[in-house]
Amino acid sequence: MNAITLYRPVGQPELDLIAESGFKTFPPRLNWQPIFYPVLDYDYACTIAREWNTNDDANGNVGYVTAFDIPETYFQTFEVQNVGAANCNELWVPAEELNTFNSAIINGIKVIKAFYGEKYTGEKTHE
């Protein structure tokens, strides 16, 4: 089976929920979040984590880049959405489909990069 690697930039609260799942699932979307949008490009994920998450108190002033694989056949059921520059491509997964999406994740979710903002006060556990 061929797999596609996707990336998801997250802050501390979302990473805590991912950890609670044993790094197997992403948490449900909040009622005002109609889509879950993993990204296709590592550099794009790093930009979001570094430039947005680290400057957001609600995210704990930290940005983590997570990576995970899904089957290519499942990936192909979604239309890739470009939201800016050539590398700014995302999958838009409707919030109500997140459980199905989570069940397609192969071998769990990994933290592959961390960015710490100036106001971050926690322990730096992922470098």
| CA nearest neighbour of 40 among 79, 1, 14 | 79
Q: Is 124 helix (H, G, I), strand (E, B) or coil?
A: coil
Beta strands at 89-91 and 80-82: parallel, antiparallel or unpaired = antiparallel
Report domain extents, the chain.
3-116
| Contact criterion met (CB below 8 Å) for 44 and 87 | yes
Sign, CA torsion 21/69/49/29: negative
pLDDT at 49: 97
pLDDT at 104: 98
pLDDT at 28: 95
User: Could you tell me which residues are beta bridge partners of residue 90?
Assistant: 39, 81
Mean pLDDT by 10 residues, the chain (127 residues): 96 97 96 94 97 94 98 95 92 96 98 96 81
pLDDT at 80: 92
pTM (two decimals): 0.94
